[in-house]
Chains A and B, each alone.
Chain A
Amino acid sequence: MKIRIGTEASQSTDQVPDDWFNWKKKDKEEAESVARPSMSYWQDAWKRLIKNKLAMLGLIFLILLGFMAIFGPILSPYSVKIQDLPNQYQPPSSDHWFGTDSHGRDVFTRTWYGARISLFVGLMAALIDFTIGIVYGGISGYKGGRTDSILMRIIEILYGLPYLLVVILLLVVMGPSLTTIIVALTVTGWVGMARIVRGQVLQIKNYEFVLASKSFGTKTPRIIRKNLLPNTMGPIIVQLTLTVPSAIFAEAFLSFLGLGIQAPHASWGVMANDSLGAILSGNWWTLFFPAFFISFTMFAFNVLGDGLQDALDPKLRK
């Protein structure tokens, strides 16, 4: 039991009872409890992320969005494709929660279907970027020397290519479809990821603990898996969360140029583009819902990315 007596250091020595002058029982547990509970890097990062309200808002939104993208179209009684021209431009009502579009299709259903396509494009682009980037950047950074300088020259050249112009060019040739859009987006998209991975690997490969495992004769793949990867993940995860919204944006941009997903399929970009004129005639809902979901998804990924960046970089701790 602890007795707090007055304020510290204001106590006169004489007032301290004599029987307190006894050896304190050595309590091992207490000595250890003084130290703060140690947490793993990931636990610590997670704790910091949870504290970031904006990032959590983004995360929750994305989880709900993912759920609706999967189940939304199933839950709705309307079809994505079937047109119902007599019912065109119905404002939001209890029948059509988000209203109907120029072809009388239910915007609510199409919004979740669009979420499916947009998220699929975003996630696939991120996944492919990630895979190529990790392999390329990892090899470049880890091997170093000649390999590195050749691989880096290639990257420098690719990096100079104007991303969207190349994508446009490729889609003009290949013709727009879900697959070709993803291919076009990733043809030069992985370069950024490869650069980050290489930077991380270079920084960490000379750390003492890697040298230590090397001197124990650990094989290269094991070093990469056990030592390099966990320590390089932070900026890579952040880059991933930022790749998804930029791919979603690029898809919307391509829809605008007529190079996006083709009708009757719908992505948010296609829906927004189809409705650009509609808003002027007062049918705001046809643009509002896809535009809102593009914007809010980009927002969610951005704040989540920011939150992860703060959470995963201990240097930024305040």
Chain B
Amino acid sequence: MLRYILKRLLIMIVTIWIIVTLTFVLMISIPGSPFNSERGTNENVQANLEAHYNLDKPYHIQYLLYLKSIATFDFGPSIKQPGQTVNDLLGRGFPVSLELGLVTIIVAVISGIILGILAALKHNGILDYAAMSFAVLGISIPNFVLATLLIQELAVNWQIFPPATWSSPAHMVLPVIALATGPMAIIARLTRSTMLEVLTQDYIKMARAKGLSPWKIVVKHALRNALMPVITIMGTLLASILTGTFVIEKIFAIPGMGKYFVESINQRDYPVIMGTTVFYSTFLIFMLFLVDIAYGILDPRIKINKKGGE
């Protein structure tokens, strides 16, 4: 197990290093200086930036100093928001995005799993078809389309929920639905298909032959095995929810990191683009690491395999 964790840890560090290096290559490969005054940067800010990125020094020194600043969690100043550092923006925006993301993932996982299990247990029944039609629609409709539809219908036409901003639980409803539907659909489909596969396994037949009740068979024997694949895709889902927040925050005018990030792309505010990318990537890669560890703990077969060095 320890070996397994160490190996994952090493992979995590290498991946983060690649992202950091990529952002550095991005900076130096932009024609001209990314921070020059043509882009409307005032001189004061420009001086700050050049100092932060050590632009007067040769590339390899710049690179090492850049690595050092990332390691100390210092992403430098913003170009377009004078007097603000990327850290300031992250400090303000990330908690909001995290809240949106967390609520979304909880909603998506719980409803997706319930939907998937119901569909599998009523295989080929009306409930199965209904749940799966819903899931296919959920996968097919892009979140920005769904978000617009929700605003149009539930906020503007029916005025049930507020259309924008982020100040009360009622404000959360529409953005969370828009963001959670896709991942929920994916989880529901995956849960259903693995559940169906697990239910045909001999150990389920064996459990039935022992006279266990259907409820006990589902909870004790099927569910745990059926949820394993769901855990493996959690990393990917987190990534898609996180990138989804960019779109959703912009549409619903939620003051999260995603909104700042989209603005920074439109304005070519490179330090914010780089800082956010590094920060979010690190966050995601760390989550992926946690998912791998969780999987190792939940599946007893992995411990042995990894101890023997695969």
**A interface with B by C-beta (< 8 Å):** 153, 156-157, 160-166, 168-169, 172-173, 245, 249, 252-253, 256-259, 272-273, 276, 279-280, 284, 287, 291, 294-296, 298-299, 302-303, 306
Whether A276 contacts B22 by the Cβ 8 Å rule is: no
> Which partner residue on chain A sits nearest B274 by CB separation?
A169
A166 touches B22 (CB 8 A): yes
Interface 0/1 of B203-217, CB less than 8 Å to A: 000000000000000
Interface residue? B243 (CB, 8 A): yes
Q: A160 to chain B: which residues have CB within 8 Å? A: 11-12, 15, 285, 288
* B268 / chain A contacts, CB cutoff of 8 Å: 172
Q: Kindly list chain B residues whose C-beta atoms are within 8 Å of the C-beta of A259.
A: 265
Q: Say yes or no for B4: interface residue by CB 8 A criterion.
A: no
With beta carbons under 8 angstroms apart, the residue of B18, B141, B151, B152 that contacts A295 is: B141
Query: Which of these, A245, A253, A294, contacts B247 with CB under 8 Å?
Result: A253
Cβ-defined contact, B281 with A165, below 8 A: yes
B136:A299 contact, CB within 8 angstroms: yes
**Is B277's beta carbon under 8 Å from chain A?**
yes
Chain B residues contacting A252 (CB-CB under 8 Å) are: 142, 144
Nearest B residue to A259 by beta-carbon distance?
Answer: B265
Binds A, one of B23-31, B77-85, B108-116, B172-180: B23-31
Q: Classify the secondary structure of B's interface with A.
A: helix
Residue B227, interface by CB 8 Å: no
In the complex with contacts A162-B239, A162-B280, A173-B30, A168-B265 CB distance below 8 A:
yes
B178 shortest CB reach to chain A, Å = 13
- Interface residue B251 (Cβ < 8 Å from any Cβ of A): yes
How many A-B pairs have beta carbons closer than 8 Å: the answer is 111
Q: Mark B183-216, 1 if CB is under 8 A from A, else 0.
A: 0000000000000000000000000000000000
Contact of A165 among B136, B139, B280 (CB under 8 A): B280
Closest 5 CB pairs of A and B: A299-B140, A160-B15, A298-B140, A291-B145, A164-B243
CB distance from B9 to the nearest CB of A (A): 12
Structural contact, B243 and A253, CB atoms closer than 8 A: yes
Q: Which residue of B lies closest to A255 (CB)?
A: B144
A259 and B246 alpha carbons, distance in the complex (Å): 13
- Which chain B residues have a beta carbon within 8 Å of chain A's beta carbons? 11-12, 14-15, 18-19, 22-23, 26, 29-30, 136-137, 139-142, 144-145, 148, 151-152, 156, 239-240, 242-243, 246-247, 250-251, 262, 265-266, 268, 270, 273, 277, 280-281, 284-285, 288
What are 18 inter-chain pairs, A to B, with CB distance below 8 A?
A: A157-B11, A157-B14, A160-B15, A162-B239, A162-B281, A162-B284, A164-B240, A172-B265, A172-B270, A256-B247, A256-B250, A258-B266, A273-B144, A280-B152, A287-B148, A295-B142, A295-B145, A298-B139
Q: Which of B11, B142, B148, B262 contacts A294 (CB 8 A)?
A: B142
Chain A neighbourhood of B247, CB < 8 A: 253, 256
Flag if A276 contacts B251 (CB, 8 Å).
Answer: yes
Contact B144 A256 (CB under 8 A): yes
Q: In the bound complex, what is the Cα–Cα distance between A172 and B12 (angstroms)?
A: 25
| Apart from the given pairs A249-B142, A257-B262, 19 other A-B contacts in the complex at a CB distance below 8 Å | A157-B11, A160-B12, A162-B243, A165-B239, A169-B22, A169-B23, A252-B142, A253-B142, A256-B144, A256-B250, A257-B266, A258-B262, A258-B266, A272-B144, A291-B145, A295-B140, A295-B145, A298-B142, A299-B139
Residue pair B144, A163 in contact (C-beta under 8 Å): no
Q: Is the pair B29, A173 in contact by a Cβ cutoff of 8 Å? A: yes
Nearest Cβ on chain B to A57's Cβ, whole angstroms: 11
CB pair A164–B239 under 8 Å, yes or no, is yes
From A165, A295, A302, give the contact of B243 (CB < 8 A).
Answer: A165
